[in-house]
Amino acid sequence: MKRIIFGALALSLSTMALAENKFGIGAGVGVSNSIYKGAEDKAYPVPLLDINYGNFYVKGITPGYFFFKGEDLSLSVFLDPIAGFPIKAKDMGNGYTNIDDRDFQAMVGLRADLNTGIAGIRTGASVQFGEHGSEAKISAFRPYSINDQFSLVPGIHVKGFSGDYADYYFGVTSNEVNRSSRDNLTREYKADAAASIGATLTAEYKYNEKFSLIGILGVEKFSSEITDSPIVNDDPLFIASIGAKYFF
């Protein structure tokens, strides 16, 4: 099951590239448990781009444009090309394989980034909209330089999902229940507006001025509006990723 949150991972990894006027390209591999019942855990590729050209940027695989850049505050518009929680019916566990596929969605959003000036803490807030609803996120992180080569960035975030968004990915229709081949899926479910809370720890080792290694660990816990769905696991979502980036 391809249930990877590519955008979230790529943006988390790209927080390590704090220097401006650098162009970076790289790739990584990530793994996580599945949010859906019976779906197997899989490894997945994570493209890592870090491009700044004037007011244009690409972070991970997310392109954007700064329409305001101040000393401590920046505002931008961006495109998240593969947002959501996709799942193919064939990748679900026994008794759930007759559900409809849930697909990626492209989402357009607005983002604000702020250097608070308090103990080195940086914050971000974003809202994005797509065909199947909207998502908002508030985050905070604090870079720590252990030495000239090694740095750590712990971060926390809270996300909100509109009712349309949550229901598309986690709701269950009467048609899906009627098509179920076993008793695993016995009831309809309409998901309301939902939320999640998460934490990440990102590490970077700068081998030299042009090459760095990056790793990330993360966990995300979803609200009952999502975990009460009969196709969703109640367990938190754990993610781990490693990658390398070359700057030129």
The per-residue pLDDT for range 73-112, each reduced to its tens digit, is 999 999 999 899 999 999 998 888 889 999 999 999 999 9
- Examine the pLDDT at 56 and tell me if it is beyond 50: yes
Are the C-beta atoms of residues 233 and 184 closer than 8 Å to each other? no
Interatomic CA distance for residues 14 and 216, integer angstroms? 11
Measure the CA angle with vertex 120, ends 140 and 205; round to 5°: 85
Count of positions (residues) in the chain: 248
- Examine the pLDDT at 13 and tell me if it is beyond 50: no
- Determine the average pLDDT of the residues in 37-49: 84
Higher pLDDT, 15 or 237: 237
- Determine the average pLDDT of the residues in 145-150: 91
The per-residue pLDDT for range 204-221, each reduced to its tens digit, is 898 988 898 988 898 999
SS3 (DSSP) at 62: strand
Domain annotation for the chain: domains and CATH numbers: 6-247 (2.40.160.40)
CA-nearest of 25, 8, 26 to 155 is: 8
Total H helices, total E strands in the chain: 4, 13
The per-residue pLDDT for range 151-199, each reduced to its tens digit, is 999 999 999 999 999 999 999 999 999 887 666 888 999 999 999 999 9
What is the structure's pLDDT at 18? 43
- Determine the average pLDDT of the residues in 136-163: 93
Measure the CA angle with vertex 209, ends 203 and 210; round to 5°: 85
Interatomic CA distance for residues 156 and 197, integer angstroms? 8
CA-nearest of 40, 64, 38 to 53 is: 64
pTM, two decimals, is: 0.90
Are the C-beta atoms of residues 142 and 158 closer than 8 Å to each other? no
